[in-house]
Chains A and B, each alone.
Chain A
Amino acid sequence: MTPAERPTARGTGVAAAGASLAIVATLVGMQYWLLTAALEASMAGEAGVALPAFLASGAILAMAAGLVWTIERIQRAS
């Protein structure tokens, strides 16, 4: 790889921010689906759906936050 072909720190940072944004947007979309499905089931009297949906939503949030934190930490270090 010639120096001209080597990715710059700025280019890598932009790509990482874009990838992080795409993954977090997907995860938040899943959380939205979980909320609507749990609300619909709850209103139909199926109480057993709400707790798994809440736990899954919390786990997804933790994953998204962990991803953002990790990427920002790497970017700050580089």
Chain B
Amino acid sequence: VSHRDETPKWREDFPYDAGEDEAVTRRDLTRFLLVAGTGLAAGSGWVWARSRMRGERAWPAVDVCGEGEIAPGASRGFEFAGEPALLVRRPAGELVAFQRKCTHLACPVTYRPAGDEGGEALVCHCHHGRFDVGTGRGLAGPPRSLRPLRRIQLERRDGRIVAIGLVPRGEVVG
């Protein structure tokens, strides 16, 4: 049986001539970039839709600790809304709590009390980021230009400190 009239198998795999390869590969890459651009535009649409549907979900309250169990200048980790969080009693006695993931690359932040190098701050050790303990705003390092740490609302109930909800995004307390 003669196969002379049939298209050879290699031609199916390489459907264009050697002279055209540069133009074809660039055109294919351009089309691929267009598909990626479509995905990015869809992603921007998703961000917009998500920002319109904003509504703070109610999270179950979490009993963090007794009031006497945390001294001024100390901190205590706990979990709230499915995320690690940090309760801080400032030297003056004020209690604050924040979600603990750094807004840069999600490393855990720790509390550094006043008196240590750099003063009182929430510190991310991965990239030397620092956050204001009162507001959660970035003070130094990569978080300075990023969103603040999410603050957690606290309540005192029968001598216990209870986390009751997240402060709405964009609302900075203190």
Contacts and interface: CB of A to CB of B under 8 A. Distances in A.
Interface of A: 10, 13-14, 16-18, 20-21, 24-25, 27-28, 31-32, 34-35, 38-40, 42-47, 50-51, 53-54, 57-58, 60-61, 64-65, 68, 72, 75
Interface in B37-90: 37-38, 40-41, 43-45, 47-48, 50-52, 54
B36 A21 contact: no
Contact of A24 (B22, B37, B171): B37
B30 A17 contact: yes
A54 B45 contact: yes
A13 B23 contact: yes
B30 A53 contact: no
B interface majority secondary structure: helix
Nearest to A47: B51
Given A42-B51, A46-B170, A32 B30 contact: no
B23 A24 contact: no
B126 interface: no
10 contacts: A10-B20, A24-B33, A44-B147, A45-B170, A46-B170, A47-B51, A50-B51, A50-B52, A58-B41, A64-B34
